[in-house]
Amino acid sequence: MCGIVGYVGSRPSESILLSGLARLEYRGYDSAGIAVIDGDGHLGMRKRAGKLQVLRDDLQHAPLADGTSGIGHTRWATHGGPTDVNAHPHLADDGRLAVIHNGIIENFAALRAELAGSGDTFLSETDTEVAAVLLAREYHANGEDLEAAFRATVQRLDGAFTLLAMHEDHPGLVVGARRNSPLVIGLGEGETFLGSDVAAFVEHTRHALAIGQDQIVAIRPGSVTVTDFDGVAVEPEPFEVTWDAAAAEKGGWSSFMAKEVSEEPEAVANTVRGRIHDDAVVIPELDGLDDLLRGIHRIIIVACGTAAYAGQVGKYALEQWARLPVDVELAHEFRYRDPVLDEATLVVSISQSGETMDTLMAVKYAHERGAKTLSICNTQGATIPRESDAIVYTHAGPEVAVASTKAFVAQITALYLLALHVGRVRGALSAATSAQAVAELEAVPEKISWILEAEQERIAQLARWMADSRSVLFLGRHVGFPIALEGALKLKEISYIHAEGFAAGELKHGPIALIEPGQPVFVIVPSPVHSPVLHDKVVSNIQEIRARGARVIVIAEEGDAAVLPFGDEVVRIPLAGSLFEPLLAVVPLHIFAMGLAEARGLDVDQPRNLAKSVTVE
């Protein structure tokens, strides 16, 4: 949460900072600000509550003086509401020092009391201003050496933070530090960038350096130094960004979410690409790990939100194909209940951003307790994969809309690949089952494309009709259950309508009391061909709710005639094996949530109160 950008070079920094912030706005969008050191060596700063556009308008009306270095911030409020005063940057040393921050400084109250006790005053309610004031003190205590002062400051901070700072006395220098919060370096020709992720600078350069935990970076035009918190030099790890700036542009779509839903077929295809050999799954990143995979006795999947629902789908595949017991845990619950972990446990984390603090902490905890860790992640150079023993990247491309869509189908795909890979390595999977699963997986992108072409407009129309609904329920069974949960999450997240997902069999144990005449209920119907028993049970569940007046929207396989009489609306998905149905059934639910939010005139990309990358616990 919070997007951070820094620049030093020879070009005017304001427009570089603002375009970097535009690409990072998904990380937080309740206020934004920049600080620039101008040609006369003065530090100018502007910050405004509201979306980035409010700041842009303000700067257009009253520009800052030109400069070639600066820092910028887009905020998701933690300490103090989203006001002009609480927005970043925060200034200290008589306005000559500017600081921006992502994360939470846990000992800020004690530090603030200490500084106030020695005469310092504060304008804002933020933890960040405390860091700025402390840095100003250290600056003078360390002979006005900004890097030394920065080292002394970060050593006194507890919690999670990425901090950037610049001082009028040192134009052309931006210093940064990270602890449990992201920061990457971009290397241009005679210019250097810092960003919360590569999106901040990908339009200028694809050459990047990853900064490790508890490291400090100092950037100058065309040069970078990285040290640990004690000042010992370390070598940052170089990497190339594999996608270009256009991949993170809207490109004519009404929203990033619309674009990203349209990219679901590619997200699956790209995640599968290069991982199939002779009808078997071989994940190159897991080369050399066969002994590790043979030695494990159980898997625990840790993730949050949509990624956790992908994990719940993946559990079915891992149990079926790899024959390993699998538990799926919300990452934020996992480490607070003393779970039983040993070196025969593989903890699989799933994260689009690779920065979700709850998931990161769960991975670190698992590692400390001796478990093996594997990360399924969509973001190169992110913290979670760097903290894990093994990585399987999803190749969904950059996901900008706050609500996760294409990453979800890519995560399920990666879990299926992992299940097939582990099943093969452990000898739990027959060649015939593997070949059939591979063929099904390879057919998924085309089937999703069919849904997008054949059903999109009808689902969007349904969403428009239902724009005034007060509550929508979602039912599923087996792999359809986590899809029901995902459908409900997506709807509440972007349309602010109450929505709940249930296992269809659970309804009669309580939730059926919610059904009253006209209550809309989506039901994901299992395949009559591949899961006839479950299919018939779900059809019975539909009859139970219709008898109580529910308005039923069924998501059913083409050719499923038995369900037709019971659906007020029927959305078709192509025929697929049971385990592959989730990858198809979720697509109408993503389209529906988006259509309904649009019909209510809401911002589908930036829903209220949320941020894409949740880097606080």
C-alpha count within 13 angstroms, C-beta hemisphere, residue 477 = 21
Q: How far apart are CA 236 and CA 525, in angstroms?
A: 51
Q: Which is nearer to ligand F6R, 188 or 588 (CB)?
A: 588
Any contact of residue 526 with ligand F6R (CB under 6 A)?
no
Q: What is the spatial distance between Cα 235 and Cα 562, in angstroms, rounded to a whole number?
A: 64
> Residues 215, 353, 495, 541: which binds ligand F6R (CB under 6 A)?
353
Which positions ≥6 away from 326 have C-beta within 8 Å?
Answer: 298, 299, 300, 301, 314, 315, 318, 319
- Helices 264-272 and 431-454 pack at an angle, to 10 degrees, of 160
Examine residue 306 and tell whether it contacts ligand F6R (CB under 6 A): yes
Q: What three-state secondary structure class fits 225?
A: strand
* Binding status of residue 614 toward ligand F6R by CB under 6 A: yes
Query: What residues between 415 and 454 interact with ligand F6R by CB under 6 A?
Result: none
Is residue 392 close enough to count as binding ligand F6R by CB under 6 A? no
Q: Which of 68, 102, 359, 541 binds ligand F6R (CB under 6 A)?
A: 359
Taking CB atoms, the residue at the shortest distance from ligand F6R is 305
Residue 149 or 403: the one with the smaller Cβ distance to ligand F6R is: 403
Q: Is residue 307 within the footprint of ligand F6R (CB under 6 A)?
A: yes
Q: Please choose, out of 165-173, 210-218, 349-357, 527-535, the segment that lies near ligand F6R by the rule CB under 6 A.
A: 349-357
Positions in 242-271 near ligand F6R (CB under 6 A): none
Distance CA 482, CA 10 (A): 51
- The reply to whether 286 sits near ligand F6R by the rule CB under 6 A is no
- From the CB of 407, what's the least distance to ligand F6R, in Å? 6
- The gap from C-alpha 242 to its chain's centroid, in whole angstroms, comes to 18
Output 153 or 352, the one with its CB closest to ligand F6R. Answer: 352
Residues 461 to 490: which contact ligand F6R by CB under 6 A?
A: 489-490
Verify binding: residue 304, ligand F6R, rule CB under 6 A. Answer: yes
Among residues 16, 324, 376, 403, the one that binds ligand F6R under rule CB under 6 A:
403
Residue with smaller CB distance to ligand F6R, 175 or 304? 304
Binding span for ligand F6R by CB under 6 A among 208-216, 298-306, 314-322, 523-531: 298-306
Q: What is the DSSP letter of 64?
A: P
Assess contact for 293 and 389: CB atoms under 8 A. Answer: no
Structure token digits, residue 330: 């919300």
Q: According to the binding rule CB under 6 A, does residue 351 interact with ligand F6R?
A: yes
Measured from the CB of residue 612, what is the shortest distance to ligand F6R in angstroms?
A: 7
Distance, CA of 553 to chain centre: 30
Q: What is the closest distance, in whole angstroms, from the C-beta atom of residue 486 to ligand F6R in the complex?
A: 8
Provide the minimum distance between the beta carbon of 409 and ligand F6R in the complex, in angstroms, as a whole number: 13
Does 347 sit near ligand F6R (CB under 6 A)? no
Distance CA 377, CA 245 (A): 20
Which residue in this structure is represented by tokens 């106030």? 116
Q: Shortest distance, CB of residue 366 to ligand F6R, whole angstroms?
A: 16
Residue number, 215 or 353, with CB nearest to ligand F6R: 353
352 binds ligand F6R (CB under 6 A): yes
Structure tokens at 185: 């370096």
Closer CB to ligand F6R, residue 362 or residue 524?
A: 362
Long-range contacts of 543-550 (CB under 8 A, 24+ apart): 544/507, 544/508, 544/512, 545/475, 545/507, 545/512, 545/515, 545/519, 545/521, 548/512, 548/515, 548/516, 548/517, 549/515, 549/516, 549/517, 549/518, 549/519, 550/473, 550/515, 550/519, 550/520, 550/521
Partnered with residue 209 across adjacent β-strands are: 185, 238
> Can you tell me the distance from the alpha carbon of 74 to that of 35, in angstroms, rounded to the nearest whole number?
12
Q: How far is the CB of 488 from ligand F6R (least distance, A)?
A: 11
CB neighbours (10 Å) of residue 543? 12
Alpha helical stretches, state H, 336-382: 357-368
Contact call for residue 305 and ligand F6R (CB under 6 A): yes
The site that binds ligand F6R (CB under 6 A) totals a number of residues, namely: 16
Q: Which is nearer to ligand F6R, 157 or 347 (CB)?
A: 347
Give the tokens for residue 555.
Answer: 């998501």
Does 281 participate in binding ligand F6R (rule CB under 6 A)?
no
Minimum CB–partner distance for residue 489 and ligand F6R (Å) = 6
Sign of CA dihedral 46, 49, 50, 51: positive
Q: Mark the segment that binds ligand F6R (CB under 6 A) among 35-43, 87-95, 302-310, 523-531.
A: 302-310
Residue 356 near ligand F6R by CB under 6 A: yes
Torsion sign across C-alpha atoms 13, 16, 19, 23: negative
Q: Counting contacts by CB under 6 A, is residue 153 touching ligand F6R?
A: no
Does 578 engage in binding with ligand F6R (CB under 6 A)? no
Of 350-358, 472-480, 519-527, 563-571, which part binds ligand F6R (CB under 6 A)?
350-358
Q: What is the closest distance, in whole angstroms, from the C-beta atom of residue 376 to ligand F6R in the complex? A: 9
Residues identified as active-site: 2, 612
Alpha-carbon separation of residue 151 from 118, 142, 163, 339 (angstroms): 21, 10, 11, 36
Residue closer to ligand F6R (CB basis): 444 or 489? 489
Binding site for ligand F6R (CB under 6 A): 304-307, 351-353, 356, 359, 403-404, 489-490, 493, 613-614
